[in-house]
Amino acid sequence: MYRSSVAGIGRYSQNLIKNLLSIDHKNRYILFMTDEDAREFRSLNNKNQNVKIKITNIPHYSIAEQTKLPQIIAKEKCDLVHFLNFNYPVRYKGKFLVTIHDLTLFFYPETAKETGPIKRVAFRLVMSRACKNSAKIIAVSKNTKDDIIKYFKTDPDKIVVIPEAADDKVFIEPSKKLIQNLKSTYHFAHFPIILYVGQWRPHKNIVGLIEAFSKLKKKIPSKLVIIGKIDPKHKSVQETIDKLNLKSDIVMPGFVSNEELAAWYKIASVFVFPSFYEGFGLPGLEAMAAGTPVVASKTSSLPEAYQDAAIYFDPGNSSEIADKIELVLEDDSLRQDLIKKGKAQVAKYSWKRTAEETLKIYKEVIAN
């Protein structure tokens, strides 16, 4: 099951599949995709002969996903199906494995508040059934594995930790013209730029970041850039900006192209990841790949993913967040040390290795 590359699960889908097809020319792959996803995939992958695309215009997390998708998959008579997120169709009876990225919907049900309480209960039920009925579970971090074991009483031997990696797209060297255009468009001049990249969800703690930025700018004139699809349902972000009178100091470009994202990472003085909970934390790794120092929450998987290549804070303490950002902005030797350690940390991960370890699991499951 393929996802477009708009967010974290999409990044995982795209990079895993691209690298699987690069290393495996023996097995035949069937990709179940929407028309939109298929167009994106074909634009990026058009040389593989061992791929069949099955157009399946079924929305994720929908009733049709549970009722219609099992029959569509069953007709293809797959030896193994890999569901790239927990939301597998529970009526599917074939052999499958599932990737579980995190338990966000378990710990933060308000993340899916627009779906209503019934769907939130359904999400938990589907995840529980995925843990029970899958042949193997891929967790993207040890933290996620531990959460699955604790809350779903899953056999630890059933869960394999296969981490993600920084997306190749952040290694694009953005043009000097693009960088200059962004600085000129947003009137940055010589201000330090504090960057956040991610979705607008309560557990992402964007409000806490804005409150920390309000404290920081009283000491250091600076700008905050929040990149990600603007979600009007989460009104607290804009309400906090208005309350703290920060409209002229915060830039929200929305969802940006890969080249522009690479440029923002280059422009940024520091990347801040204030989440209360993450399954892995790809944006911080992308920032490190681009040579941007990282300040992050000391919660969930982030210390596991970043190790000593980041400075950590309590995400519930906006004063501490501000202090840690200030520390990185003011101490150049610390900045350079974080940049150096960040490059080394990124090198520990690769999508090719992720694909190799995933293919190994495929072979083991099919053999058994």
Are residues 361 and 249 both part of a single domain? no
Tell if the pTM clears 0.75, that is, is over it.
yes
Contact 246, 222 (CB under 8 A): no
The Cβ-side half-sphere exposure at 274, using a 13 Å CA radius, reads 29
Strand partners, 197: 227
Are residues 335 and 355 both part of a single domain? no
At 189, the amino acid letter reads A
Are residues 56 and 69 both part of a single domain? yes
Provide the domain limits for residue 263: 168-346
Q: How far is residue 146 from each of residues 120, 153, 237, measured CA to CA in Å?
A: 22, 10, 31
Q: What's the average pLDDT block by block, 10 residues per block, for the chain (368 residues)? A: 57 92 94 89 74 90 89 95 94 96 84 63 89 97 97 97 86 86 86 94 95 97 94 89 96 91 94 97 94 97 98 98 98 97 96 97 95
> C-alpha angle with apex 277: 284 to 18, nearest 5 degrees?
50
Q: Which tokens sit at 61?
A: 């997390």
Are residues 214 and 317 both part of a single domain? yes
Check residue 122 and give its pLDDT: 83
Number of domains in the chain: 2
Check residue 5 and give its pLDDT: 43
CATH of the domain at 244: 3.40.50.2000
Are residues 148 and 235 both part of a single domain? no
Check residue 116 and give its pLDDT: 64
Check residue 171 and give its pLDDT: 67
Give the dihedral sign, CA 273/59/88/107: positive
The length of the chain is 368
Rounded Cα–Cα distance for residues 318 and 313 (Å): 9
Are residues 250 and 115 both part of a single domain? no
Are residues 205 and 341 both part of a single domain? yes
Q: If 0-12 CB within 10 Å is exposed, 13-18 middle and 19+ buried, where does residue 105 land? A: buried
Task: Note whether residue 2 is domain-resident.
Answer: no
Task: Note whether residue 266 is domain-resident.
Answer: yes
Are residues 131 and 187 both part of a single domain? no
Task: Note whether residue 196 is domain-resident.
Answer: yes
Check residue 345 and give its pLDDT: 97
Task: Note whether residue 304 is domain-resident.
Answer: yes
Edge-to-edge order in the sheet of strand 193-197: 250-254, 223-227, 193-197, 270-273, 294-297, 310-313
Task: Note whether residue 3 is domain-resident.
Answer: no
Task: Note whether residue 229 is domain-resident.
Answer: yes
Check residue 190 and give its pLDDT: 82
